[in-house]
Amino acid sequence: MSGIAGMGNDIASDIAIGGDPRIAVIAVGGAGCRIASALYERACRADIIAINTDREALQQTSADRRIYICKAVTQGLGTRGDAALGKKCAQIHEDEIMAAVRGYDYALIVAGMGGGTGTGAAPVIAELCDRVGVDASAMAIMPFSFESDRAFKAAEGYRRLHSICKTVIKVNNENALSMGYRTMDEALRAVDAAVVNLIFGFIEDAPIISSEHLARKAAAGSSSAKRSGDSVPETVGSLSGKTLS
């Protein structure tokens, strides 16, 4: 596990057009960083980049690269649910984030919606990926229905991701409650496990997803033109045979 960035060189290495794509999973905020550790422990073939405003939580995250945003604003204590602050933190560190993702062909951004860091920073990170020519999709983990104070923020964060990313996978925590788990912790662990399995499957499809991007780079150099006219499908996964939608 690496130290907290910016130490060391970019993870991504050069690759010939037509070879295996360089893939990064960018885990943002508390929920994203839980997923990052699980992926790292299972030796995911993508590079794991963890980004958080909570320094202690980030230090406990297993990842290939960890990026701490933004001590000057949060004093290492996170955003305390303030999505506008999460957005500001990502914007302040945009050069560092772009340096971390530049050189990848494909990125999957994983974040919980409804809090501060994931909701506010993930859409900014998606925009930064687009700026450096990285095809980015997102996985948005939505809050439980009883978390009414988080619902509006979650919907807005999802809307912003949906407007930027080519594909958004929406995972609802709520579905786990109908499956007989006795405690909230059990339900969250089940959702995390399902998300990890979805990501492994998604990464296996990445060579197909990225082939269009590789061809475009070969034909047009390093152009990173906005895909504003592309359709944005919503992909739905499953948890023990149940739909996560």
pLDDT tens column, 31-75: 999 999 999 998 888 999 999 999 899 999 999 999 999 766 666
* 228 domain-assigned: no
* 128 domain-assigned: yes
* 11 domain-assigned: no
Residue 215 CB partners (closer than 8 Å, separation 6+): none
Instruction: Please report, for the domain that includes residue 198, its CATH number.
Output: 3.40.50.1440
When pLDDT is cut at 50, 70 and 90, the band that residue 206 belongs to is low
114 CB-side CA count, 13 A: 17
* 224 domain-assigned: no
Confidence (pLDDT) at 238:
33
- Measured over the CA atoms of residue 208, residue 47, residue 89 and residue 173, the dihedral's sign is positive
Beta bridge partners of 111: 28, 140
- Measured over the CA atoms of residue 55, residue 60, residue 61 and residue 66, the dihedral's sign is positive
Structural domain of residue 51, as residue ranges?
20-210+237-244
* 4 domain-assigned: no
* 1 domain-assigned: no
pLDDT in tens, 115-145: 999 999 999 999 999 999 999 999 999 998 8
d(CA 146, CA 64): 35
* 117 domain-assigned: yes
**Listed residue (71, 81, 65) closest to 29, CA to CA:** 81
**Listed residue (139, 169, 140) closest to 156, CA to CA:** 140
Q: Number of folded domains in the chain?
A: 1
Q: Tell me what the pLDDT averaged over the chain comes to.
A: 78
